[in-house]
């Protein structure tokens, strides 16, 4: 099961994202809450943007994996940053961190600059929507409540 990028020619060729992602029938939709750059003990991996960005992506992927999915099942990412210039300052490094975690799968993406995030030290928060392979709820390694 894989998502299909939707990139109409009228919108130009996207780089590093897709304009839309079409999910096949039979998948389960997973909404991933905003993930930030901290570990299981709720400690930030760094106060700097890039390490927080990479860890937040890893945390998103951990949720997707726990639900039985993989990176290519992520259909949408929304990146909330407190300073857009931190994201754009070194796009090569940001892209490298992205590819280390999610490979060359580029879902529909949005970048939103915000005044602040709930956790004062957070530089980035990432929400996601994934469509994981079908099955019955509970047939995965993740814990549900």
CATH code at position 92? 3.30.1330.40
By the 10 Å C-beta count (0-12 exposed, 13-18 middle, 19+ buried), 2 is classed as middle
Look at the chain and report how many structural domains it folds into: 1
| Within a domain: 72 | yes
Q: What pTM was estimated for this model as a whole?
A: 0.88
Tokens of 108: 């529909």
With respect to residue 13, please indicate whether it lies within any of the assigned structural domains: no
- Is the Cβ–Cβ distance between 117 and 80 less than 8 Å? yes
Dihedrals phi, psi of 38, to nearest 5 degrees: -125, 165
Report whether 93 contacts 59 (CB < 8 A).
no
Per-residue confidence in pLDDT tens, the chain, 145 aa: 688 899 999 999 988 888 898 888 889 999 999 999 999 999 999 999 999 999 999 999 999 999 999 999 999 999 999 999 999 999 999 999 999 999 999 999 999 999 999 999 999 999 999 999 976 555 555 555 4
Residue 23 lies in a domain: no
Residue ranges making up the domain that contains 125: 29-132
């Amino acid at each position: 099961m894989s998502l299909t990028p939707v990139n109409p020619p009228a919108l130009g060729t996207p780089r590093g994202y897709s304009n839309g992602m079409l999910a096949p029938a039979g998948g389960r939709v997973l909404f991933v809450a905003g993930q930030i750059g901290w570990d299981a003990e709720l400690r930030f991996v760094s106060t700097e943007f890039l390490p927080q960005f990479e860890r937040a992506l890893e945390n998103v992927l951990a949720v997707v994996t726990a639900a039985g999915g993989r990176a290519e099942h992520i259909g949408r990412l929304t990146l909330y940053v407190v300073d857009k210039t931190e994201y754009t300052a070194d796009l090569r490094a940001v892209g490298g961190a992205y590819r280390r975690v999610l490979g060359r799968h580029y879902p529909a993406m949005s970048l939103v600059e915000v005044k602040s995030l709930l956790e004062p030290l957070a530089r980035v928060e990432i929400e996601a929507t994934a469509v994981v392979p079908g099955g019955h709820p509970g047939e995965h390694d993740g814990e549900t409540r």
